[in-house]
Amino acid sequence: MTVGQTLALSGLVPLDAQVLLAYVLERDRAWLITHRDDALTREEANDFAALARRRREGEPVAYLTGRREFFGLSLSITPAVLVPRPETETLVELALEWLPADRDVRVLDLGTGSGAIALAIAHERRRARVLATDASAEALAVARDNAQRLSLPNVEVVQANWYDDLGARTFELIVSNPPYVASGDPHLRCDGLQFEPSQALVADEGGLAALRAIIGDAPRHLSTGGRIAVEHGFDQSSAVQAMLREAGFVEVVVRRDLAGIPRVAGGALAVN
């Protein structure tokens, strides 16, 4: 069977089929276009068929290939971490608006997972010292591997549950994409979320518990005038803005993702 026939008969959307076949053949997607009439070996066809079946069953492409691009960086991904999504780039964009490129700054990324947010910030702001924390040792292994592979020495990876064990360290900016999905939300059964680590997705209090803990304790870990930015659910913007104001943050801002959905909120710690 040829490359073109294999793609057409895969039962997958074209992009997924192309990414998986390119992975099997150790080529890029551009190569597939110019070699549509090339024949696959039996081993290549079988390897692709196995991956295509898993994808049809809902398993994320990033888990099948072990790779995902985020903010222009190629990240290693395993089932121990969430698959980085385009909407989370909105959080990075806001962080970069607030972080100067010409001086040293300290940034804390809570619940780093694969390290996507921390690494994107560290890559764009080389004078930033980014502390990336997570409660999961398995997730931190992925983040540490990504930092080393991308040669980003300005990222420190530490195991911690939110602010636990950080002592008196303070930061100019805190960022987080915490779990914010309510238990029982029907979305957890679709879009491949059933394959992703539930502890990185689901939070108590209708999905707001982690956000409340992060925002509520942030003032103790921010320098004077420091800022915080968090990702939240599609229907949580008003609640998160209220949390920020209750915790003493001013200049509260909201950023929408590419779909136009309020996705990120943040503010500056009021100076007394």
**What is the reported pLDDT for 181?**
94
Tell me the fold of 80-269.
Rossmann fold (3.40.50)
Mind listing the pLDDT tens digit for each residue in 150-174?
Answer: 999 999 999 999 999 898 899 999 9
**What is the reported pLDDT for 189?**
76
**What is the reported pLDDT for 73?**
98
Question: pTM of the prediction?
Answer: 0.94
Where the chain has pLDDT below 70, the residues are none
The ranges assigned to domains in the chain are 3-57, 80-269
Q: Following DSSP, what letter does each residue of the chain receive, concatenated?
A: -BHHHHHHTS-S-HHHHHHHHHHHHT--HHHHHHTTTPBPPHHHHHHHHHHHHHHHTT--HHHHHSEEEETTEEEE--TTSPPP-GGGHHHHHHHHHHS-SSS-EEEEEES-TTSHHHHHHHHH-TTEEEEEEES-HHHHHHHHHHHHHTT-TTEEEEE-STTTT-TT--EEEEEE----EETT-GGGGSTTGGGS-GGGTEEHHHHTHHHHHHHHHGGGGEEEEEEEEEE--TT-HHHHHHHHHHTTEEEEEEEE-TTS-EEEEEEEEPP-
Mind listing the pLDDT tens digit for each residue in 221-235?
Answer: 999 999 999 999 999
**What is the reported pLDDT for 180?**
96
